[in-house]
Structure 1
Amino acid sequence: MTTSDAPADPRLPAPDPARAARLREAFTAADFTADGCLELLGATAYAALARSETAPALRATRGGSPLETLVRLFLLQQSVPWAQAAAALPADDCLAGGWLLRDGDAVRAAVDVRPYANEVAGADSADAWVVSDLGCAVGGAGGIGAAGAATGVDRRDLVLGVGGASTTLAGITVRRPARETLDLGTGSGVQALHAARHSGRVTATDVNPRALHFTRLTAALSGFGNVETAGGSLFEPVADRRFDLVVSNPPFVISPGGRFTYRDGGLPGDELCRRLVRGAADHLAPGGYCQLLANWQHVRGEDWHERLAGWVAGTGLDAWVVQREVQDTAQYAELWLRDAGDHRVGAEPGETAEEARVRYNARYDAWLDAFEASRVEGVGFGWITLRASGSDRPAVHVEEWPHPVEQPLGPHVERWFDRQDFLRTRDDAALLAARYRLAPEVVQEQVGAPGAEDPEHVILRQNRGMRRATKVDTVGAGFAGVCDGTLAAGDIVDAIARLLGEDRVVLRDRVPQSLRLLVEQGFVEPVGSGEAAGA
């Protein structure tokens, strides 16, 4: 494992593979895993822990077993008696290695260690562990400010553990064998951990030396030796390299200042995310994917679809941009003020309630001033997937989809891009000459007034992937009902024309437009000659 040039933080454990292996063996023996903790705590306490509420978990871990001891040490950050610690893990080794600290006649954890189900198809074991700063489990009511006070580390340099954004990105990432993967803005190494299972080599980068250290700890504890780290911003540490996969959960927050390294990119507005998109083309191997989470501004007088498409224009990359949520500027400011702990009295040393209110309002005003100056009316959140297809006609699709999706979405993302290859290489005649089948778990719904002879609408609905729904006419419903991969689309259209008494030539002219939509959105899949996504 290659290390960065940054000096190690003496307050953190050293990423010693041999010592980490012994700790991993103790974790495995005690079943200190995602499944083991869920079974011990139960669903209610486990869900409360995700909200940083510890009382139910403390009640469930009063027995003193090795697993209960490890949960108290590393998840709940409680001191435990020396004898209990020694029964659960090589305590002397952990003290010497910096994983544990003396606390009188007891010991406590030096870092937060979270069991993590790092699942990849075909892997022997999904058990892994993510290491981060104490108190930095995402979702705590106190915000990052409280965590900084608990660790004695400058708050701007704190490294968070697994959160909703990181699991979202892991779920949408295309998981196919890769020789070289880049985790840009690695944090505690969650994306690198996933990529290590299906990549020959993973390079994890970050501007924060502590993040690189935590990534090395995460990789060592989880047993991966194919992760290297490098310090620097954006693509600077890998200037001359290309990758089969680039993943990034970057510091995408659009803020008036760079208070926290883990979230604030330090560039104006959404410029950091735009630079990531623009720079990807020079760092993707042929066929490679770049997948990132991002925030983008909704600017007064601009169409946000066109704005995002402009980020990709001229790169030669295929792109699928999905906006999952939009917040107005006040909601957005409040979200990240709470994340910083600015809502708390005492967030600054010795302050009174009145001083806290004044401080909070001043920072709130700074956010609103910055948005007003930039004519920003709202902020969108979503994901961006880019692919180096090599096509001279890149497919760029920008859409809003706030509805629930099925995770992991990665296989569906890959098939979406496969379908773009199919569609852009076929004119209408070739489209009708191909054969199709209804995608798995697509159902038909009929909508109309009770007792009506005919439905007002026929809806096709996906129960997998993006879980889309689309309205179809009689021809579309008839086509979906019989396309099982045995007949060419044109033959099905001819049969429908005869059944409805319509002109087959007119129908053949009309159908390709709607057929393209059904294929692009995954309601029907082309089959034969290796053309189908997932065929």
Structure 2
Amino acid sequence: MNDLFDRLRELLLDAGYTIDGVRERLGEVAATALSREETVPALRATRDGDPLGTLIRLWWLGVPVDAPEGLPVAELAAAGLVTSDGGRVVSTVHLQPWETGGYVVSDRKVRPGDPALRPDHVVGAGGASANLAQLVTRRPVERALDLGTGCGVQVLHLAGRAREIVATDVNPRALELARIGWALSGIRDVDAREGSLFEPVAGERFDLVVSNPPFVISPAGRFTYRESGFEADGFCRDLVRQAPRFLAPGGTCQLLANWLHVRGEDWRDRVGGWLTGTGCDGWVVQRDVQDPAEYVELWLRDAAEQGTARYRELYDGWLGWLESMDVTGIGFGWITLHDSGTLDPVVRVEELGQRVELPVGGYVDEVLGSIAAAHRLPGAELPGVRLALAEGVLEERVGPPGAEDPSRITLRQTRGLRRTARVGTVEAALAGVCDGDYPLGPLLAAIAELTGEDADDLLAKAPEAIRPLVAEGFFHISTG
């Protein structure tokens, strides 16, 4: 079977069926429309019958085509990937090139008017898959676990960084299609196991656990690719609470999640509570929040149920279920756990709505390090600490023209998470002089002399003022 996929991969590459090749062949208008699941411009752009256009029609758009030269139709039909329709070839799967240079195989995309999804539908690579891949640390590891692998996207990204990869899923059809995608991508020796949550890896530990889980919060688990059947957001809660038992010392778990916003409850307390008691440092980021109606509409569209006879019934039932729990919104975001080995773990919960520098995985270890360093920075030792301003931090001052003092001073990151922090004149002065060469105590004494403030008072207030700026990456603690 691997020989078949090796030959198919060679045919795809020879025709230019790659991310760049498809974009160039379709052109900007058709490619952009296709990202919105509008196929008409792409069908028009591929009607000439050239090899690449034919492959796009076959594998991506799902329309019957005359078999391209060299396509092993009989073998692909035996493998269940194509069928014949009046002498023409029709794909039974969606096969798309991925940004790693590999390929992803899933069930065909469901569009309005298509038959209803099968319960074990295997969804293809999308925005959530890409977001998780951008978040995951780039640090090389020995053992990695892709929990809930689906069509296997995360394995394509882990293959170059992990010596051993285990991938699990509750859906056997997902594992079947993922194996085909890995074979087409030239990835061998992935240990694929069937089962829910951590059941398939009981007693094992990993340096890295990643998961794009079935996080959709719904009254019934109708589709295994997105819904777990757990009550409310309980699946993500249990995933977070169980993960530390499967992390090797120094290991990291990174996952996507949804969580409820409940009337009278701070969502930060809800999600932060999931991490409390895990023994791990934690970082929770809310990237978006939707009201209940928006959320229900999103996932009904996802299953192409708009316009169907059951749409209003499903919408009403789902919305009523959320209302019964006093849900005011649903948050989308990231959760990262790090087994730092400390007896004093720290959990940071925050909201980041701004655009961030990608990939976050390129600097996520630094983010976790900054959060931990700020939390464990003893106040008594602060005068001897050497701080350095992070690269790319700018200062903005706002005030009436000609005024002696600004009404607002802001530090702004131009790199990484691109946070902003409103600061006072002392913190701004520190930002101007902290280069890692001098301890904080003498610098604060000099600033006190310039500003006319009491040096002891500044030093006493320093921990409260400095810790947040270290935690958010404006300052780094210099070890040189």
Fold shared per TM-score above 0.5 = yes
Pick one of 7, 12, 17 that aligns with 1:32: 17
**Residues 1:389 and 2:371 are matched in the alignment:** no
Q: CA deviation at 1:279?
A: 0.5
Pick one of 72, 83, 86 that aligns with 2:69: 86
CA contact under 8 A between 1:291 and 1:386: conserved in structure 2? yes
- The DSSP-based 3-state class of the residue aligned with 1:43 is helix
**Residues 1:406 and 2:406 are matched in the alignment:** no
Residues 383 and 148 of structure 1, relative CA distance in 2, 3 Å threshold: farther
Pick one of 174, 180, 188 that aligns with 1:225: 188
Matches within 5 A, 1:328-339: 328-339=291-302
Amino acid at match of 1:413: V
Q: State the distance in 1 between where 2:57 and 2:294 align.
A: 35
**Residues 1:487 and 2:438 are matched in the alignment:** yes
Amino acid at match of 2:300: L
- The DSSP-based 3-state class of the residue aligned with 2:192 is strand
Cα deviation 1:49-97 (Å, max 9, x = unaligned): 1111122222322343322222122112222223xx015x455554454
- The DSSP-based 3-state class of the residue aligned with 2:421 is strand
Partner of 1:3: none
Partner of 2:103: 129
Pick one of 259, 265, 269 that aligns with 1:302: 265
Partner of 1:99: 81
**Residues 1:46 and 2:31 are matched in the alignment:** yes
Residues 477 and 288 of structure 1, relative CA distance in 2, 3 Å threshold: same
Q: State the distance in 2 between where 1:390 and 1:383 align.
A: 22
Pick one of 355, 366, 374 that aligns with 2:325: 374
Residues 148 and 320 of structure 1, relative CA distance in 2, 3 Å threshold: farther
Q: CA deviation at 1:116?
A: 0.8
Amino acid at match of 1:338: R
Matches within 5 A, 1:450-465: 450-465=401-416
Cα deviation 1:21-75 (Å, max 9, x = unaligned): 1111222222211112122222222111111112222232234332222212211
Partner of 2:425: 474
- The DSSP-based 3-state class of the residue aligned with 1:40 is helix
Structure 2 portions without partners, runs of 5+: none
Residues 28 and 332 of structure 1, relative CA distance in 2, 3 Å threshold: same
- The DSSP-based 3-state class of the residue aligned with 2:183 is helix
- The DSSP-based 3-state class of the residue aligned with 1:417 is helix
- The DSSP-based 3-state class of the residue aligned with 1:321 is strand
- The DSSP-based 3-state class of the residue aligned with 1:166 is helix
Amino acid at match of 1:132: S
Q: CA deviation at 1:200?
A: 1.2
> Which deviates more, 284-293 or 65-74?
65-74
CA RMSD of aligned residues (A): 1.9
Amino acid at match of 2:59: F
Q: State the distance in 2 between where 1:338 and 1:325 align.
A: 18
Q: State the distance in 2 between where 1:97 and 1:29 align.
A: 22
Q: State the distance in 2 between where 1:440 and 1:49 align.
A: 38
Q: State the distance in 2 between where 1:158 and 1:521 align.
A: 41
Q: State the distance in 2 between where 1:52 and 1:63 align.
A: 21
Matches within 5 A, 1:238-249: 238-249=201-212
Amino acid at match of 2:322: F
Q: What percentage of residue pairs aligned between the two structures are identical?
A: 51
Q: State the distance in 2 between where 1:233 and 1:281 align.
A: 17
- The DSSP-based 3-state class of the residue aligned with 1:466 is coil
Q: State the distance in 2 between where 1:72 and 1:340 align.
A: 22
Amino acid at match of 1:402: G
Amino acid at match of 2:18: T
Amino acid at match of 2:30: A
Amino acid at match of 1:437: A
Q: CA deviation at 1:259?
A: 1.2
Cα deviation 1:264-286 (Å, max 9, x = unaligned): 11011111111001101111111
- The DSSP-based 3-state class of the residue aligned with 1:108 is strand
Residues 219 and 148 of structure 1, relative CA distance in 2, 3 Å threshold: farther
Pick one of 187, 211, 220 that aligns with 2:150: 187
Pick one of 509, 512, 516 that aligns with 2:463: 512
Residues 257 and 96 of structure 1, relative CA distance in 2, 3 Å threshold: closer
- The DSSP-based 3-state class of the residue aligned with 1:389 is coil
Partner of 1:161: 124
Amino acid at match of 1:327: Q
Partner of 1:73: 58
Q: State the distance in 2 between where 1:95 and 1:258 align.
A: 32
**Residues 1:273 and 2:256 are matched in the alignment:** no
Q: State the distance in 1 between where 2:131 and 2:202 align.
A: 27
Q: CA deviation at 1:301?
A: 2.6
> Which deviates more, 245-254 or 484-493?
484-493
Q: State the distance in 1 between where 2:468 and 2:27 align.
A: 45
Q: State the distance in 1 between where 2:42 and 2:20 align.
A: 15
Partner of 1:20: 5
Q: State the distance in 1 between where 2:250 and 2:106 align.
A: 33
Structure 1 portions without partners, runs of 5+: 1-15, 119-126, 346-355, 530-535
Output the TM-score relative to the length of structure 1. Answer: 0.85
Q: CA deviation at 1:331?
A: 2.1
Amino acid at match of 1:26: L
- The DSSP-based 3-state class of the residue aligned with 1:406 is coil
